[in-house]
Amino acid sequence: MTKSDEVFFFKFRDTDFLLDSFSQMFWFLEKNYTISEDSSENISSIISFENLIKEYNNIYHQGIKNRIRYLQKFNFFVKKKQEPHLNNNKSALIDCIVINPSTTCNSDCWYCYVNHLRKNNSRELSTDQIKGLIEKVVEANIKLGCDKQICFSYGYTSEITLNFDQFLEVNTFIENIQKEKNIQISFFPSSTNLLQPTADFIDFMNSYGYLTVSLDYENLIKNKKVVKNLELLDDSVVKHCYIPINSETKDYYSIYVECLKHFDLSSLRPVRIPKDAKYPWTQDNLNLVEKELSKLILTLLELAEKNLLEFLESLGSSDYFGRYLEKILTREKHLTRCPAGRTAVAIDWNGNYYPCSGLIGIEDFKLGSIQESNLENISRKSVQENVDKIETCSKCGIKYYCGGPCLDWQVKEGGNALKDVNSIECKMNHIYFRVTAYFVYKTIENYPGLLKKFLEKKKKRFRLNYALNWENFVSFFT
């Protein structure tokens, strides 16, 4: 078995799993193969099967090992050559730009990533500068024959409702360019705190049809105002709430349920915050995340089929559990974490380019500026590497689910985003993977067609279309 490092083992509750990291296929093991209670207490992560054997070698593991060897004849658990079209391209054209014209906000959220930059900042990007930037991006894409849609989004470092006139002016400008150049351009508004929505904002959202509200769940006073302001919107508008969760957040299911009283979709997501934040992540409190996430999935597993499907369909696009659920069901391969710095950049109120809005103000990540450089030739020094090329990640069982480190989170943890990858964020991802994999296994056991139906409604391909039971899978191939 030494020819492969693609065999991983993980455990959740009373169930052991095997994972083929390359194909992203996983199987649950029969009880017979479960290692003893004593020895399994220390296994709270995803470890290579080779390491498990070294530590807990017994007759059961030898049996699994022999079966793995057999399946390797069919190329399971064997690293294959990456198909060329999956290789990362550092020179890919930038076609997604987040425009952050100001830092103006009417709130002071503990998780805001520009609070420290907001103080004493009076700079703003003018509408003319934004229009000039958009023209340049569009021209560059046309010149290079790019037929993909170009995406602009607006206002991630400020409260969009306070600067909505500018958004509308830019929106009209983009609509005109679209007609003139006959190309596809999207322009997305950022999330809002919905504390002071203007009439223009409400009108726009009623026609746009999709609103994301960023909500500090603990701040109930603000939330009452938000709930009241939601009434200003038409029923036809899809209302999505985004809730950053921290180490103190408890009872995730109740939060979802409460949000869904007012919203159509909800997203809970561990927030990327520095060590000196109000509720910092630590190695110790990650256990609480696992406990809370476990509570959530155990509650979900008790729901009736119809209610469970409804719940899953109410997960918003940023929901971390929902994302892992989709990743596990689709077996989509993520070779990089996100497009930051590769095909996407953020621009700040000074006209500087950064890989993403969370990295604004950090000199090492500055890629250039609209005054100095064209978008085609900005520096790509901090573009994320292909996950296979990052030493620590290359040996990780869930590398293709995660795609590598989030630059923003690594920096906030105080590490070197491009080198040190053994972080709280990694452990968080391992927790989400293990717990979600268990949820998937149990749900398929309880309601066989539910997850396929859930995914196909999203027009995604269900790829757990094999026997998840290890014994059955092996028997089929023998």
Q: Which residues bind another protein (CB under 8 A)?
A: 22-23, 25, 74-76, 80, 82-83, 85-86, 96, 323, 330-340, 343-344, 356, 358, 403, 406, 408, 461, 463-468, 472-473, 476-477
Question: Please, what is the minimum distance in Å from the beta carbon of residue 251 to another protein?
Answer: 25
Q: Which is nearer to another protein, 337 or 366 (CB)?
A: 337
Strand ordering across the sheet containing 15-20: 25-28, 15-20, 7-12, 47-48
Q: Which is nearer to another protein, 36 or 66 (CB)?
A: 66
| Cα–Cα distance for residue pair 346/344, rounded to 1 Å | 7
Hey, which bits of 215-263 come out as E strands?
238-245
3-state secondary structure string, 418-472?
CCCCCCHHHHHHHHHHHHHHHHHHHHHHHCCCHHHHHHHHCCCCCCCCCCCEHHH
Enumerate the β-bridge partners of residue 347: 99, 353
Q: How far is CA 18 from the centre of its chain?
A: 24
Q: Which is nearer to another protein, 301 or 467 (CB)?
A: 467
Question: Please, what is the minimum distance in Å from the beta carbon of residue 117 to another protein?
Answer: 19
Question: Please, what is the minimum distance in Å from the beta carbon of residue 212 to another protein?
Answer: 12
Question: Please, what is the minimum distance in Å from the beta carbon of residue 83 to another protein?
Answer: 5
Question: Please, what is the minimum distance in Å from the beta carbon of residue 56 to another protein?
Answer: 28
Q: 445 near 421, Cβ under 8 Å?
A: no
Q: Which is nearer to another protein, 226 or 344 (CB)?
A: 344
| Cα–Cα distance for residue pair 18/90, rounded to 1 Å | 34
Q: Which is nearer to another protein, 147 or 235 (CB)?
A: 147
End-to-end Cα distance, the chain: 18
Q: Which is nearer to another protein, 239 or 323 (CB)?
A: 323
The H or E element containing residue 32 is: none
Q: How far is CA 30 from the centre of its chain?
A: 32
Question: Please, what is the minimum distance in Å from the beta carbon of residue 193 to another protein?
Answer: 19
